[in-house]
Amino acid sequence: MSSIWPAGPLRVLVVGIDGVRLDLLPDLRTPHLDSVAEAGFLAPVEVDDATPTMSGPCWATITTGVGVAKHGVFGNHFGGNRLDVFPDFATRLAAVHRRRTFAAGGWEPLFLARQGGPLFSAPGRLSYVAPAEDTPEAWEECDERVTAEAVYVLGGGDDPQASFVYLGAVDETAHFLGCGEEYRRSVEQADERLGRLLDAVRNRPGYADESWTVIVVTDHGHLDQGGHGGRTSLERTAWVAACGPGLEPGAPVEQVRHVDVAAHVYAALDIAPDPHWTLDGRPFTPAARPVAEVH
């Protein structure tokens, strides 16, 4: 039976892990994130001056490819947004390009019509998993269930060409307990879940004939005591790791910004953005070598 979204060899997986501090990663056991970085790159991202260091604005920028002046999300309440004009990549790909898309996670305004949301308004498949309560333990369980659902979908339960999986426990742990040992364990647990997602991709029956791009991204940092929203370096520093076609292992890339994530999703699917989308981002591109290295 034919599909209105014909499957092709190009696939993209974006994993969003909320609130992971870049400066702590070298001291943590994150082999799966490290494997993505080694196969491509891991680069710092500075949240720009116009964007509050809050999850709502940052995830909106990451998934739409435009800044706050266009998408209109300025806080964790999404009221007054312009996401109908500047939708997330999963919604746009499903509506405009008839691609299979998938989004999963447990933070309400990303996936439900609550708090001014949703950010992901109409992906081809959406899985919302509600945490039982607002505690670090409940969010770890929520992320477990999100990961299990995504493993099923990515592993063959469906055939999405572009996916976004959101993990929120790290951020919640920092808010409740600061960036101490519990926070560090939560980051390592998120990496273990990333590994299960990557295994699901690699174990797909048709994996050998597919071409996958993987992007892992965080939205903002945290103060030592937990919390964000200000303009300190700890709060403004985020990061992106990515690997896939066109991303040479270990090669430096041009300065990476949050708006570049959605732009690279489109490029990885060989889709030229319509100029009317007025994206602010660009695909990840290799950094120019110094003149002395050019022969």
CATH number at residue 68: 3.40.720.10
Range of the domain at 225: 14-285
Tokens of 84: 């109908």
- 225 Cβ neighbours under 8 A, 6+ residues apart: 178, 179
Q: Say if 3 falls within a structural domain.
A: no
pLDDT in tens, 76-106: 999 999 999 999 999 999 998 888 999 999 9
Q: Say if 7 falls within a structural domain.
A: no
Number of H helices, E strands in the chain: 10, 7
CB count, 10 Å around CB of 293?
7
Predicted pLDDT at 93? 96
Which pLDDT band holds residue 288 (cuts at 50, 70, 90)?
A: low
Residue 295 has pLDDT above 50, yes or no: no
pLDDT in tens, 194-242: 999 999 999 999 999 999 999 999 999 999 999 999 999 999 999 999 9
Q: What angle do CA 199, 205, 209 make, to 5 degrees?
A: 95
Residue 4 has pLDDT above 50, yes or no: no
Q: Say if 229 falls within a structural domain.
A: yes
Which pLDDT band holds residue 157 (cuts at 50, 70, 90)?
A: confident
- Helices 55-64 and 89-96: crossing angle in degrees, nearest 10, is 30
244 or 5, which is more confident? 244
Q: Say if 291 falls within a structural domain.
A: no
Q: Say if 133 falls within a structural domain.
A: yes
Task: Return the half-sphere exposure (C-beta side, CA atoms, 13 A cut-off) of residue 228.
Answer: 31
Region 178-183 average pLDDT: 97
- Number of domains within the chain: 1
Q: Say if 196 falls within a structural domain.
A: yes
Is the Cβ–Cβ distance between 137 and 101 less than 8 Å? no
pLDDT in tens, 240-287: 999 999 998 987 788 999 999 999 999 999 999 999 999 999 999 887
* This prediction's pTM: 0.94
Q: Say if 107 falls within a structural domain.
A: yes
Q: Say if 103 falls within a structural domain.
A: yes
What element of type H or E holds 170? helix 169-177
Q: CA-based Rg of the chain, rounded to a whole angstrom?
A: 18
